[in-house]
Amino acid sequence: MSAKPLTPAIVPDNTEHPRDLRFWLVFLALFVCGFITALEMGVISASLPTIVDDLQGTQFIWVGSAYALAATALIPFSGGLAQLFGRRPVLLASVILFAVGSVVCGAAKNLNMLIAGRTIQGLGGGGMISLSQIVLADLVPLRDRGSFNGLITIAYALGCGISPVVGGKLAAIGQWRWIFYLNVPICGVAAALVSVFLRLRTPAGTLGEKLRRIDYIGNILVIGATTSTVLALSWGGIQFSWNSANILAPLIIGLLGLGLFLVYEARFASNPMVPLEIISTRTGLSGYAQTFFNSMILITVIYYIEAYFQACYNVSPTAAGVDGLGMGLVASPFGFFAGIVIQKTHSYRVPLWIGWIFVTVGSALLSTLNADSPRAASIGYLVITSVGMGIVILGSYFPVLAPVSVTKNAHALSFLVFLRNFSGVWGVTIGGTVLQNQLRKKLPAEFVAQFPGGVEIAYAAIPVIGTLEEPLRTQVRNAFADSFKAVWWVTTGIAGLGLLFSLAMKHYPLHTAVDKDWGFEEAELSKANQLESNLHAKTNSNESVGQNEL
């Protein structure tokens, strides 16, 4: 009797994708990509005051926002290119862009050049994050992906955890440019692994046919709307008042543009980047919302907890990085553990609920800190928050993918990463705006008068707070502590929303198959299958010889 043919578009994982040496080297490339993007996201936080002071700049918020904006706006485009041209060339181009941006940042002569380099970095970083998730989905079915995603989470959390220490140390010794130059050899390792081992199938068709299938209108809408929204968020309360036309116009246009983008993608695009299927279920929408809220909190904590340590405890950037190290060291294993639990139980709801409880409680505890709180308390509260963030980073992936067909993996993951990065823009800009507005109200006039540029310059003066005379030093420390309280109140409210949205999830079985149109090239599979056949033949031959001897 002939075997029953496999269902079109899906195939059992162990049939089509042997986890041999090639698989693990590809996974290593994804691990390195996750590590380096996370490293860059956090390495700037502890060193930002030093960098801004050295370059004599004022628009420090754009150092973070430019990276997040570039990474966000082109993520759907990178996912679309991967669908048309294959995973390998798009991922490789992303790694190269990231390296080029790092060189520009390291060579920056002023803040504008640094922001330009961060923009280039963001273009590459967004593509690396998106493509890493897509490739993993091509090779591992959702039911087995918990542990693999956990390992990627370890890379992500490890990068976030050590980056403040690395950035702080280099800033403290006056070598902050190496924060960016060190990315180049790591990118070289990632590029080599991708070039040699990431040999995946590519879609058929001529170059002209593929170019005609690009969703140009959708890309224009999402890039324009994202840029408009971020401009409004970055300027609000700093360069212009929130109720001015300079803020309301781009903010309204941006938000309406994002809505128009989703409507166009769902109803009119012939090759949509965001098909209706991936946003048509309550569970999927819950997963996307949780991703958005958790990433917003994560970025806010990464960027501003280090500044709190430096401003209130009079510690060096290196010491601030060490204090924040527990964030990565805790989020990493708890994310991995959550992945194992989901993989074993085939259920993602309970881990996510537990994660959100930790995030909410931890954020609320952070909001109780003042200038004289024990360092052990601040680190402990950060650890509690990090436990939850690590679980949610890993777990929110599953309610997004479980309700949709495996053929929509790339689209769903691109949109997931888009929201994750877009929320980072909101986190950096809203956190910075809240902080700056509070500092404007609370900093002593005597201190602000020393900085003609206003409170943005005062932020760059964090490293010199310890040199101030009393009682001015205590007044400035208290002003910063009270201002950071407002930031943590915001993250607590966002965490509460995340917990509320997580209650909307339904249980869906996790897929046990992958899309047959992607995966290793046939030639590579044939080699793997031939090797396996030779091993089986040798084993059978040895068994026959043994039986004859007996």
What does the DSSP assignment read for 167-220?
Answer: HHHHHHTT-TTHHHHTHHHHHHHHHHHHHHH--B----S-HHHHHHTS-HHHHH
Q: Quick one: pLDDT at residue 535?
A: 46
Its domain, for residue 303, covers 15-201+209-214+271-534
Q: What is the pLDDT of residues 226-269, one digit of tens each?
A: 888 877 876 776 677 778 888 889 999 999 999 999 899 888 88
> Residue range 167-173: average pLDDT?
79
Q: What is the pLDDT of residues 317-349, one digit of tens each?
A: 767 767 776 776 787 788 888 888 998 888 899
Q: What is the pLDDT of residues 396-414, one digit of tens each?
A: 989 999 998 888 888 888 8
Q: Quick one: pLDDT at residue 460?
A: 63
Pair 248, 382 in one domain: no
Q: Which of 270, 289, 315 corresponds to the end of one domain? A: 270
In this model, does residue 99 exceed pLDDT 90?
A: yes
Pair 266, 279 in one domain: no
Q: Which of 270, 290, 306 corresponds to the end of one domain? A: 270
Residue type, 473: R
Pair 187, 239 in one domain: no
Pair 511, 363 in one domain: yes
Q: How far apart are CA 249 and CA 243, in angstroms?
A: 10
Higher-confidence residue: 50 or 384?
384
- Give the CATH number for residue 82: 1.20.1250.20
Pair 195, 180 in one domain: yes
Q: Quick one: pLDDT at residue 520?
A: 64
Does 9 reside within a domain?
no
Pair 168, 66 in one domain: yes
Q: Which residues pair with 513 in a beta bridge?
A: 12
Q: How far apart are CA 212 and CA 227, in angstroms?
A: 25
Q: How far apart are CA 459 and CA 490, in angstroms?
A: 20
Does 287 reside within a domain?
yes
Q: Quick one: pLDDT at residue 286?
A: 95
Higher-confidence residue: 292 or 375?
292
Q: How far apart are CA 146 and CA 403, in angstroms?
A: 16
Pair 263, 301 in one domain: no
In this model, does residue 366 exceed pLDDT 90?
A: yes
Pair 253, 383 in one domain: no
Buried b (16+ CB within 10 A) or exposed e, 140-156: bbbbbbbebbbbbbbbb
Query: Is omega for the bond preceding 471 within 30 degrees of 0, making it cis?
Result: yes
Tally of domains in the chain = 2
Pair 318, 453 in one domain: yes
Pick the closest to residue 530 from 522, 518, 540, 542 (CA basis): 522
Pair 299, 240 in one domain: no
pTM for this model (two decimals): 0.79
How confident is residue 456, by pLDDT bands cut at 50, 70 and 90?
A: low
Pair 156, 265 in one domain: no
> Residue range 54-71: average pLDDT?
74
Pair 249, 322 in one domain: no
Q: How far apart are CA 502 and CA 396, in angstroms?
A: 9
Does 8 reside within a domain?
no
